[in-house]
């Protein structure tokens, strides 16, 4: 099991920005809780692109078979239409066939924490059975995350 999601900025080597769109807010004008799944996915894919792991024909083929098996969000303060959010991303844990992203979302202007969360994915074969993480994927994550990465 991975450590709790941290708000320590030093733990995150990657971040991306998202501007809240009107369609992502609810009837009371704050970001709808379901929008955070999309924000985390943007952060995850931007992180993988930053490491060169986002292309299906790149160093790690068949990235698509990874399936989300767990998703958690903890809310700290509301975000509203047109806020710019900073989504900090890290891979916190590599297992045999799974890997877990941690996310820390904050308001760019005020720096206040908005949400933290995690997503765990499992690498699957064509029969949807778990298989070991590809070595090039594992090595790229190790190189980027360094000593903060938990493995088993």
Please give the residue that has the higher pLDDT: either 127 or 22: 22
High-pLDDT (> 70) share of the chain, %: 91
- The domain locations on the chain are 9-151
Three-class DSSP labels, 36-80: HHHHHHHHHHHHHHHCCCCCCCCCCCCCCCCEEEEEEEEECCCCE
Tell me the backbone φ, ψ of residue 82, rounded to 5 degrees: 75, 0
pLDDT band at 1 (very low <50, low <70, confident <90, very high): low
CATH class of 9-151: alpha beta
pTM for the whole thing?
0.92
Task: Give me the pLDDT at residue 9, please.
Answer: 95
Tell me: the pLDDT tens digits for 48-76? 999 988 665 544 555 544 789 999 999 99
Please give the residue that has the higher pLDDT: either 53 or 150: 150
């Amino acid at each position: 099991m991975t450590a709790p999601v941290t708000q320590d900025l030093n733990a995150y080597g990657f971040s991306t920005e998202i501007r809240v769109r009107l369609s992502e807010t609810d009837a009371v004008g704050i970001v709808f809780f379901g929008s955070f799944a999309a924000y985390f996915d943007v952060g995850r894919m931007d992180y993988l692109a930053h490491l060169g792991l986002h292309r299906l024909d790149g160093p790690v083929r068949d990235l698509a078979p990874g399936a989300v098996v767990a998703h958690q969000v903890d809310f700290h303060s509301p975000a509203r239409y047109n806020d710019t959010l900073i989504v900090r991303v890290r891979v916190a844990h590599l297992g045999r066939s799974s890997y877990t992203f941690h996310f820390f979302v904050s308001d760019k202007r005020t720096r206040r924490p908005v949400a933290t969360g995690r997503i765990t994915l499992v690498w699957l074969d064509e029969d949807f059975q778990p298989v070991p993480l590809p070595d090039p994927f594992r090595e790229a994550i190790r190189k980027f995350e360094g000593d903060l990465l938990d493995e088993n």
